[in-house]
């Protein structure tokens, strides 16, 4: 990709010790552009897939699918003010008597649509400020009366169990957007009566972006052409059914008009829109054979 056409998605493998905003700042500096955003916050201690949008791709971030896959380690018998090992850890109740079968049984209750209270140290806003800002100012969770929010846990697999006074387990979790994995560790520990926290987290997938196809920050920064790692915008939406428009229809659609597509109407409502030559034009919504723009890939000014 030429340096003159800085746009697309970067599938970054975020290292520990960096915030998601740090990742954005580094990409801005390396590519010398301000038009950069990320597709889903990762805590500083967490590693793994962090989708970064560059140029016109930033306008498509909100349409990326929210499903994510994580590999997490939970530790039972301890609690933390941040619900992970990065906070102030308090010993809960040593629980050497806990067995894998009992824990697996408890985990089943976290699969499906559940209600989850976000961690006090999180970016959720309350009273016009982010919760972690209020927490750092000394506000207690009891003062905020945090409301539980609906989240979706699609799959939760216990991969490994290591018994002891403070047993640890490795899990693979598939969930929807807005889910806090460390809150699952906290709530599991409370359900078992011994406390729990998350000691490690790695994101394996975010929407169409998988860890196997990601690039490490060091490798990317040290490459001769960092733009070569940018995916075309369209590759973020290959799971959307395509629809190909004639030149006249494409022209009107790109101007923000709805167009009648008649016999072109596919089964899906949300569509990846292409021109007659297959060029990606944006995303549209089709209802009753009329295709309306959701996001048009307008030329850079």
Catalytic residue list = 43
Non-local (6+) Cβ contacts of 7 within 8 A are 54, 55, 56, 57, 230, 233, 300
Q: Whose CA is closest to 76, among 196, 187, 182, 159?
A: 196
Say how far apart CA 12 and CA 229 lie, in whole Å.
9
- On the CB side of 126, how many CA atoms lie within 13 Å of its CA? 21
CA-closest candidate to residue 201, choices 40, 52, 56 = 40
Query: How far apart, in whole angstroms, are the C-alpha atoms of residue 199 and residue 76?
Result: 10
Q: How far apart are the first and last CA of the chain?
A: 19
How far lies 67's CA from each of 63, 70, 74, in Å? 12, 10, 21
CB atoms within 10 A of CB 270: 14
Residue given tokens 């970067």 in the structure block:
10
């Amino acid at each position: 990709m030429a340096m003159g056409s800085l746009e697309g998605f970067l599938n970054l493998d975020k290292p520990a010790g960096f915030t998601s905003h740090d990742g954005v700042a580094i990409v801005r500096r390396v590519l010398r552009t301000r038009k950069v955003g990320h597709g889903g916050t990762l805590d500083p201690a967490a590693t793994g897939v962090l989708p970064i949008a560059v140029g016109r791709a930033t306008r498509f971030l909100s349409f990326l699918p929210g499903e994510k896959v994580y590999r997490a380690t939970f530790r039972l018998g301890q609690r933390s003010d941040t619900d992970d090992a990065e906070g102030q850890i308090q010993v809960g109740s040593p629980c050497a008597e806990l067995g894998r079968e009992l824990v697996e049984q408890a985990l089943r209750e976290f699969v499906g649509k559940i209600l989850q209270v976000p961690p006090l140290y999180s970016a959720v806003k309350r009273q016009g400020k982010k919760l972690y800002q209020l927490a750092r100012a000394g506000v207690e969770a009891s003062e905020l009366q945090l409301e539980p929010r609906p989240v979706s846990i699609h799959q939760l697999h216990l991969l490994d169990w290591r018994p002891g006074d403070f047993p640890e387990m490795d899990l693979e979790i598939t969930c929807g957007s807005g889910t806090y994995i460390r809150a699952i560790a906290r709530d599991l520990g409370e359900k078992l009566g011994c406390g729990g926290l998350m000691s490690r987290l790695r994101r394996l997938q975010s929407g169409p972006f998988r860890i196997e196809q990601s690039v490490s920050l060091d490798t990317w920064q040290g490459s001769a052409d960092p733009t070569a790692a940018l995916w075309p915008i369209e590759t973020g939406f290959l799971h959307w059914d395509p629809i190909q428009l004639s030149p006249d229809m494409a022209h009107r659609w790109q101007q923000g008009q709805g167009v009648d597509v008649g016999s072109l109407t596919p089964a899906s409502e949300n569509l990846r829109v292409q021109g007659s030559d297959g060029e990606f034009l944006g995303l549209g919504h089709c209802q009753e054979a009329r295709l309306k723009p959701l996001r048009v890939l307008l030329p850079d000014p």
